[in-house]
Amino acid sequence: MSSGRKRITAETKNALLERSNGLCSYCGKPLREGRIQIDHVLPYAFGGSDDLENLTLACSDCNGKKAARHYSELVAGQVNHLVQFQGAMETIKVLLQLQSPAPIKASLNRLLYSNVISAMETYLSDKMISNVMSDEKLFRRVLTTIPDFKNEKIAVSNILDFYAGLRAHVQEYLASQIYHKLDKIKLMYGSIFQISFPADLNAVFVAITVRHDIVHRNGKRKDGQFVEVLEDDVTQLIKIVVDLVLDIELRLGAKGY
């Protein structure tokens, strides 16, 4: 009796390698030939398919640990923010393939589109906060280069109290930033990490505007018409945002972060 499972071809494996940039989706380490395993994001035992959107690559160690658990169960508690971001993208791809009546599908597409931007924000926020709070050099750069701190006036009588709460103050400040406001965030990354963002962010800015209408106007534009988001729109946005995050990750990696 047929199990109903598809044979995973060399073409599929090559497509997954290209999509993952040759990295394990769980630990983020480079994959070595002979230790590459194809894994189901939503386990086959729980109804996951052999379609490309539900497949990812893992090293043999991580795949053995994951077994029949969902991706999110394995990465929970880890601090590899790129891996967590990639996990969010894989989940969005799986949800994008769900078949629903047209009105529900339209709403789902809008929610997933918005979620791509949210995942980008989470990556930028987590990457910033975790590195600054664990690296004294970066922490000092926040104090000496970010205008909100550099220009802050402190009475002499308050210096000791201010110093005692300084770390909590910095962490709260970083957590309060709106990380989809890329004009400000790219300047902060430039000051703190001394890296630049890609020059052309127009496609991301357009998507952020669309996401604003989805989140704050219940999916309507200013003219009262619903924002139409197709599967292809979500897929294209995933590619744009993944390319941006990988670019930032490479620039940070070159600086040792």
Handedness of CA 217, 184, 77, 50 (dihedral sign): positive
**Cβ-based neighbours of 73, under 8 Å, separated by 6 or more:** 66
Listed residues 74, 94, 111: the one ending a domain: 74
Q: Is the pLDDT of residue 6 over 70?
A: no
Same domain membership, residue 114 and residue 42: no
* Number of domains comprising the chain: 2
Report the distance separating Cα 16 and Cα 194, nearest Å.
32
Same domain membership, residue 243 and residue 122: yes
What's the mean per-residue pLDDT of the chain?
A: 83
Closest C-alpha to 40, from 52, 24, 29: 52
Same domain membership, residue 232 and residue 158: yes
State the residue range of the domain holding 34. 10-74
Instruction: Check: CB of residue 50 under 8 Å from CB of residue 16.
Output: no
Same domain membership, residue 201 and residue 147: yes
Structural domain includes residue 83 = no
- Taking residues 14-41, what's their average pLDDT? 78
Same domain membership, residue 68 and residue 166: no
Same domain membership, residue 130 and residue 250: yes
- Taking residues 133-148, what's their average pLDDT? 91
For helices 166-176 and 136-145, give the axis angle rounded to 10 degrees: 70
Structural domain includes residue 232 = yes
Percentage of residues of the chain with pLDDT beyond 70: 86
DSSP string, 196-224: ---S--HHHHHHHHHHHHHHHSTTB-TTS
Same domain membership, residue 126 and residue 49: no
Same domain membership, residue 225 and residue 127: yes
Structural domain includes residue 95 = no
Same domain membership, residue 210 and residue 119: yes
Residue 143: predicted pLDDT: 92
Structural domain includes residue 94 = no
23 strand-pairing partners: 30
Structural domain includes residue 84 = no
pLDDT in tens, 65-102: 655 455 444 444 445 888 889 889 999 999 999 888 99
Q: Is the pLDDT of residue 2 over 50?
A: no
For residue 13, what are its two tokens? Answer: 């494996």
Q: What CATH number did the domain enclosing 36 receive?
A: 1.10.30.50
Same domain membership, residue 127 and residue 237: yes
Structural domain includes residue 88 = no
Residue 3: predicted pLDDT: 45
Same domain membership, residue 160 and residue 225: yes
Handedness of CA 71, 189, 132, 149 (dihedral sign): negative
Instruction: Check: CB of residue 150 under 8 Å from CB of residue 144.
Output: yes
Percentage of residues of the chain with pLDDT beyond 90: 42
Structural domain includes residue 247 = yes
Pairing of strands 55-59, 36-40: antiparallel
Structural domain includes residue 1 = no
Check residues 216 and 141 and name the one with the higher pLDDT.
141
Indicate the pLDDT class of residue 165, thresholds 50, 70 and 90: confident
Task: Give the predicted TM-score (pTM) of the model.
Answer: 0.68
